[in-house]
Amino acid sequence: MPSCLPFSLFLLISMPVLAKETLLPPVADSIGVAGGFAGLCDGHLVAGGGANFPGGVMPWDGGEKVWHDQLFSLDLEQPGAGWREIGIMPASNGYGVSLTLEDGVLIIGGGNAVRNFRKVLLLGLSQGKPVFRKFPDLPVTLAQMTGALVGRHVHLYGGLEKPDSASASSSHWMLDLDLPGQGWKAVPPLPGAGRILATSAGVGDAFIVIGGCSLAPDASGKPVRTYLREAWKYAGGKWHRLADPPRAATAAASPAPVRGDALFVISGDDGTAHPVPAAHPGFTREILRYDLSDNAWSVAGKLEVPAPVTLPAVPWKDGYILFNGEVRPGVRTPQVILFTPPANEP
């Protein structure tokens, strides 16, 4: 990716209550990535990894998916700043979980075409260059899981243990950031199906998991997706089924943006079948709101830009930065969006 691009102006949401103009530049690349990692560090948005189809040649036309290791940063406090390439990750990697902590960005698991990873690293910056500090490894290799921070605890759920797995994990792992030496602990698994590409969030003392896909092998052993329209809450050591969302949502921005006791599911693949991938119209631009206090869903607006899936969301000031993603099957976007949840009731 080129290193610098002037700031661009985005009007994100069409409903006035949600609208906010931002000055975040898109990554200076005509392709972008899906499944990237992103977080905040010393006033910079640090992002990288992920995968795309170089040259825009899609898999049904013989294109090969390529995983990346480049890291880039954007100084969010410097007006007019552009993206800079700052280094590389330890390996080409994507589709893990990235969470912003006080002292850096936690990079958890992920994988590439060959293998998935157990490694967990804290990414920081030193004189503008990436520095990695080792955290306890995951008990298993894992990619396409979901994860969120609940207080000082990191929760992970689901995912794939191997790139070619035909079934999804139902494991639920937790790491206490105040006692990292104790490593990852197995905690009660969600009582529903194992899943990949779910969306999660920490709301108060609860870990919320929404949507995703379960997997089962077909007659030839290839994984077949079932899109899940459900939501769960883990709190007090127990799982509770929540009200079902109005539609399926797989690979929505995660962790989901939160304001108070409400969370927001931005886009997501709803499982609508499109037999000709090249003619896919793009993923839904609808934004769903879930209010934990009311256990109720509502529609909270609509994106005006192409709706991305399979992307990280990074908390910044009063909003969340959405880094790149996939806007149609195989098609990535270089856009970087600031989403600001509403402060008022829907």
Hey, how many other C-beta atoms are within 10 angstroms of the C-beta on 250?
A: 24
CB neighbours of residue 237 within 10 Å: 7
Residue 344: its pLDDT value, please? Answer: 63
Write a three-state SS string for the chain: CCCCCCCCCEECECCCCCCCEECCCCCCCCCCCECCEEEEECCEEEEECCEECHHHCCHHHCCCCEECCEEEEEECCCCCCCCEEEEECCCCCECCEEEEECCEEEEECCECCCCECCCEEEEEEECCEEEEEEECCCCCCCECCEEEEECCEEEEECCECCCCCCCCCCCEEEEECCCHHHCCEECCCCCCCCCECCEEEEECCEEEEECCEEEEECCCCCEEEEECCCEEEEECCEEEECCCCCCCCECCCECCCEECCEEEEECCECCCCCCCHHHCCCCCCEEEEEECCCCEEEEEEEECCCCCECCEEEEECCEEEEECCEEECCEECCCEEEECCCCCCC
Q: Note the pLDDT of residue 79.
A: 85
Residue 192 — left, alpha, or beta (φ > 0 → left; ψ -120 to 50 → alpha)?
Answer: beta
The b-or-e profile of 79-92 (16+ CB within 10 A means b, else e) is eebbbeebbebeeb
Residue 275 lies in a domain: no
Domain-embedded: residue 62 = yes
Residue 233 lies in a domain: no
Tally of domains in the chain: 1
Asked whether residue 78 is assigned to any structural domain, the reply reads yes
Query: Which pLDDT does position 23 carry in this prediction?
Result: 54
pLDDT at residue number 6 = 35
Q: Which domain holds residue 120?
A: 35-143
CA 248 – CA 268 distance, rounded (Å)? 8
Q: For residue 116, is it within any domain?
A: yes
| Residue 172 domain-assigned (yes or no) | no
Mean pLDDT per 10-residue section of the chain, whose length is 346 residues? 36 40 74 97 96 92 96 93 95 98 97 98 97 98 98 98 96 98 97 96 98 95 95 98 98 97 96 91 95 96 93 95 96 94 69
CATH number at residue 105: 2.120.10.80
Let me know if residue 117 belongs to a domain.
Answer: yes
Q: Is residue 46 part of a domain?
A: yes
Give the pLDDT confidence score for residue 103 in this predicted structure.
94
Give yes or no for a contact between 214 and 193, defined as CB atoms under 8 angstroms apart.
yes
Report pTM: 0.93
Smallest CA-to-CA distance from 309 within 290, 289, 337 is with 337
